[in-house]
Amino acid sequence: MVEQESPLKPVWKPGTRGNFSDGVGVYLSETAPGSIVQLAAWHGEEKAIIAAIKKVAGLTLPDGAGGGAATGTKAAFGFAPGKFLVVDEQEGLVAAFAKSVKTETGTVTDLSHGRTAIRITGPKAEWVLAKFFAIDFSLTAFPVGAGRSTVHHDIFAQIQRSAPTQFDVYVFRSFARSFWTALCHASEEVGYEVK
- pLDDT one-digit tens code per residue, 87-133: 999 888 999 999 999 999 999 999 999 999 999 999 999 999 999 99
* Mean pLDDT, rounded, for 45-55: 95
pLDDT, position 32? 87
* Mean pLDDT, rounded, for 187-194: 97
Q: How confident is the model at residue 18 (pLDDT cuts 50, 70, 90)?
A: very high
Phi-psi region at 86: left, alpha or beta (left = phi > 0; alpha = psi -120 to 50):
beta
CA pair distance 111, 58, nearest whole angstrom: 20
Residues 108 and 166 sit within 8 Å (Cβ to Cβ)? no
pLDDT in tens, 130-169: 999 999 999 999 999 999 999 888 789 999 999 999 999 9
* H runs (alpha helix) in 41-140: 46-57, 93-100, 125-130
Does the pLDDT at position 2 exceed 80?
no
pTM for this prediction: 0.91
Residues 195 and 29 sit within 8 Å (Cβ to Cβ)? yes
pLDDT, position 64? 65
pLDDT, position 183? 96
Name the average pLDDT for the chain.
Answer: 92
pLDDT, position 4? 74
Share of the chain above pLDDT 70, in %: 97
Q: How confident is the model at residue 71 (pLDDT cuts 50, 70, 90)?
A: confident
pLDDT, position 19? 92
All structural domains of the chain: 9-32+114-194 (3.30.1360.120), 35-110 (3.30.70.1520)
Lowest mean pLDDT among 31-40, 71-80, 99-108, 117-126: 71-80
Residue 58: how many other CB atoms lie within 10 Å: 12
Torsion of CA 152, 184, 175, 50, to 10 degrees: -70
Strand 83-88: give its sheet, edge to edge: 68-71, 74-80, 83-88, 35-41, 106-110
Strand 115-121: give its sheet, edge to edge: 15-17, 192-194, 26-31, 115-121, 166-172, 155-163, 147-152
* Mean pLDDT, rounded, for 166-195: 96
Q: How confident is the model at residue 65 (pLDDT cuts 50, 70, 90)?
A: low
3-state secondary structure of 53: helix
Under 8 Å CB-to-CB from 50, ≥6 apart: which residues? 61, 63, 84
